[in-house]
Structure 1
Amino acid sequence: MFSSLRGRLFSSTVVILILFLGGTGWGLIQAFTSSIEKGAQEQLQLHIYSLLSAANESGGRLFLPEALQEPRFNVLSSGLYGAVADKAGFLWRSESSTGVGLGKVTSLDPGASHFSVVSLDSDAQFYRLGFGIVWEGEGGVEHRYTFIVMEATDRYRVQQTSFENVLWKWLAGLGGILLIAQWLVMQWGLSPMGKLAHQVRLIEEGQTQQLQGRFPKEISPVVNNLNQLVSHEHRQRERYKNTLGDLAHSLKTPLAVLRGASDQGSESLSEIVETQVKRMDQIVEYQLKRAVASRAVKLGCSIPVDEVCQKLLSTLDKVYRDKGVVATIESDIETQATLQFVGDEGDLLELMGNLLDNAYKHCSRQVQVTLGMAETEQVGFIRVDDDGLGIPDDLGEQVLNRGVRADTETPGQGIGMAVVQDIVKGYRGDISIERSSQLGGASICLQLPCRLADS
């Protein structure tokens, strides 16, 4: 049961409900008991007043009539007993108390009362109320008496037992209704989890490629990350397939040239072999770089963009030392936060390495990297500007294709920007190529998943 989320929640609910209803029942019983005792005390006080009204004094001695107004005082063992006592002991006892031990007498001050629950010799429990008075007798002599009334608790206990039985039945019924309601609410509340599990099974069985439907905002990030992971896995497999096809197709021509030269016995065979081997090496290099872009996305991993850029700039400064390039990193972020790339560090190194290497190659002397957050939520931009000749407008989109180069005089194979585009697409990002408004050369801007982090 405890391996199931539903079982854990339901078990916790049962325990909490038992404790709550048990505490509620105990509290209500205590309140009802207190109310019964309060009512019994008031009833005994009325009996004392009736005894006081019937009392008289004769010859300096207090007496009460044999037959009292309350008939139970006159019936033997009726459960209602009355008595009057002074310091010496009992002066009068009702007919009903004959043969019954009324316990010890405690003298009370005039006007004072004492209520208690006592057990007599028969182990029966009684409510007992004592009330102290001052009686002014003949000649103005004052006498102190204590009036005592006792009543058996049996009829009160019957009421209490009946109340407890009804109370526990109602609480048990209410608890059952609440458990059923909680079970239904839990089924409804956890239904998105069941739906998520069903969707995952469909993906495992190959019946669908994405988690579909609407989910609560609490698990939407999980659903989005799973969809991103599944989508990336499908794109990766498709990329492997396309890469192998491209590699096979690209190698057909060089191999055919080599085969033809071999069949014809060409004297320049070594030159042809060297040329075609270089070409095949370029093709393999490109396909390997494309494979770099197919690595799995590391969800939740954040890489500081400025640190990666600074490392690359330090390296390129050494490579292009003779050129004397001045490179800077600017930030468009208003706060002190830093831009963090959400993805694989190797992908970020591949992206920035290609862009910065191209900028160093084609600039006159200045390179500028600008970091900031785009208008779209959780998307940042990285812009690389240089002061070179720039990229012609008609070649802006073409340089992202394999083998296309804007500058044929500078050494290169036209592979780097194609790799950049593949990586950016893998993160569902965007790449744009414009003329730099600040430095006058090329301006290449990437939009990638990013977040801000405190410095």
Structure 2
Amino acid sequence: MPVKSISFRLIFGAALWITIALMIMGQVLTGMFRDHLERAFDTALHGHIEELLALSEVNKKGLVVLKRHPVDPQFNKPLSGWYWEILFSGNRFDRSRSLWDQKIRLPEGMTPEQETSFMAKGPRGEQLRGRARTFTMPGASEPFSILVAGPVKEIETAVSVFTNTMAASLGVLGIGLVVAAFLQVRFGLRPLKRMRNVLLDIRAGRASRMEGDFASELAPLAKELNALLDHNAAIIARARTQAGNLAHAMKTPLAVLTNEADRLDKDTGDIFRDQTALMAEQIARHLSRARVAATRGLLGAHSDVHETADRLRRTLKRLHEERAIDISLKDTQPLMFQGEQQDLEEMLGNLMDNAAKWASKLVVVSAEYDKQTGTLYINVDDDGPGVPEESLSVVINRGKRLDETKPGSGLGLDIVCDIAEMYDGSLELTRSALGGLRARLKLPAA
């Protein structure tokens, strides 16, 4: 499955290239260090050749002899790995004490007329790196060759120590670079996180536009998002205007039909009045559904539960003033509904009006917030007669009323269900602790 995280891709890519670069660097540095050691080793061997040449002289017989042996202790310690030989006419004429009675096994066919490097085997089979050169001295009967060799192991040991130290150092450097890349990526992507938070604020209703000083690369995106938000708001405004125009256009014909019903005989007039009232209710219902469907999920939409409930409470108390109904609010502040205020008013207004009609003395509106699911629960309780358990599911059905003496079309609870479902919510009716009915709305919280 492809990885979708930009941060992971950037950090993984940086870590991969850092690893490859450090490995290549390690190989190059190791090669350079080895080359440096070999040149230094050859320089040291050349110095020993020069020393042996300086100690050489020609005796009366025309043979090359040494005035004395070099004082370097490495050439005096038996089988130390450091050896020298002087060859005269292809035969060994003199040697270092470290060789004892052994000799350096030269590559076949080697004729060191000029100073050359060679690889050879030592007395104990160890690998040697040497240099050799043939000289001609005045008075000498023939040219002679000087060979000096040292253990390759010293180079390998130094290279190994260097490699281990360098690997540890490059490892620490690599970790530091990866951490730096991680911090750089996190810092570089911080404007995207800030933009995401602004979008979440818009989604939750805490903001309406992409406001702020965004990075130059993100400023065009913020501008386009603001243009999209403005366009959506304009579309919603036009939809509301058209829905309102349709509602007003239907009111006049319905009013005419209602007035004409008064001129008809009683039975026919009652039928006309009932049907025109039902038509008005149906038009209101479907216009409400269309409006909710258009505004559902609109970015930035949010409504204050307490403010809406308190406004409805004052209105309903005036409507039921003669009955002295007590309508109280509990724990409704500072909760917010993620949706249009008009939708919340329609849902809560229907439920509170229904509760006030049936209550004896008390209606309580309370609210709860589930932080884990981001869900808002609004409860409307009354102390009225309530609804029998077997009838709870019936009263939600469209146009169903258990008591025909109460005013209304029976569409209120059905409209509430429709609007709640548009917001992925629900309406549940249960027995209230006050003795009457509890209507429990489940809605998204802002």
Aligned-partner Cα distance in 2 for 1:119–1:5? 58
Aligned-partner Cα distance in 2 for 1:2–1:252? 58
Q: Secondary structure at the match of 2:195?
A: helix
Amino acid at match of 1:150: A
Q: Secondary structure at the match of 2:189?
A: helix
State how 1:23-172 maps to structure 2 within 5 Å: 23-58=24-59, 59-64=61-66, 67-86=69-88, 88-104=90-106, 106-109=110-113, 112-120=114-122, 122-137=124-139, 141=141, 143-172=142-171
Q: Shift of residue 198 of structure 1?
A: 2.6
2:210 alignment counterpart: 211
2:245 alignment counterpart: 246
Aligned-partner Cα distance in 2 for 1:72–1:121? 15
Contact 1:67 1:74 in 2 (8 A): no
Amino acid at match of 1:189: G
Contact 2:55 2:68 in 1 (8 A): no
Amino acid at match of 1:219: L
State how 1:9-408 maps to structure 2 within 5 Å: 9-58=10-59, 59-64=61-66, 67-86=69-88, 88-104=90-106, 106-109=110-113, 112-120=114-122, 122-137=124-139, 141=141, 143-253=142-252, 256=255
TM-score by length of 2: 0.53
Contact 1:75 1:96 in 2 (8 A): yes
Q: Shift of residue 215 of structure 1?
A: 2.0
Contact 2:129 2:150 in 1 (8 A): yes
Q: Which blocks of at least 5 consecutive residues in structure 1 are unaligned?
A: 266-293, 295-455
Amino acid at match of 1:18: T
Q: Secondary structure at the match of 2:143?
A: strand
Contact 1:84 1:145 in 2 (8 A): yes
Contact 2:34 2:155 in 1 (8 A): no
Amino acid at match of 1:215: F
Q: Shift of residue 263 of structure 1?
A: 6.8
2:434 alignment counterpart: none
Moved more, 97-106 or 73-82: 97-106
Quick one: percent identity of the two aligned structures?
A: 23
Amino acid at match of 1:244: A
Aligned-partner Cα distance in 2 for 1:116–1:213? 74
Q: Shift of residue 178 of structure 1?
A: 1.5
1:38-94 Cα shifts (integer Å, max 9, x gaps): 111111111111111222233132233564333332331122100122453333222
Supply the RMSD in Å over aligned alpha carbons: 2.8
2:277 alignment counterpart: none
1:361-385 Cα shifts (integer Å, max 9, x gaps): xxxxxxxxxxxxxxxxxxxxxxxxx
Aligned-partner Cα distance in 1 for 2:202–2:213? 17
Aligned-partner Cα distance in 2 for 1:262–1:207? 51
Aligned-partner Cα distance in 2 for 1:100–1:21? 46
TM-score by length of 1: 0.52
Q: Which blocks of at least 5 consecutive residues in structure 2 are unaligned?
A: 265-293, 295-446
Q: Shift of residue 203 of structure 1?
A: 3.2
Q: Secondary structure at the match of 1:56?
A: strand
1:3 alignment counterpart: 4
Closer/same/farther in 2, CA of residues 87 and 18 from structure 1, 3 Å limit: farther
Closer/same/farther in 2, CA of residues 121 and 3 from structure 1, 3 Å limit: farther
Contact 1:57 1:63 in 2 (8 A): yes
Contact 2:116 2:133 in 1 (8 A): yes
Closer/same/farther in 2, CA of residues 236 and 71 from structure 1, 3 Å limit: same
2:304 alignment counterpart: none
Q: Secondary structure at the match of 1:136?
A: coil
Aligned-partner Cα distance in 2 for 1:121–1:243? 107
Aligned-partner Cα distance in 1 for 2:179–2:222? 30
Contact 1:127 1:151 in 2 (8 A): yes
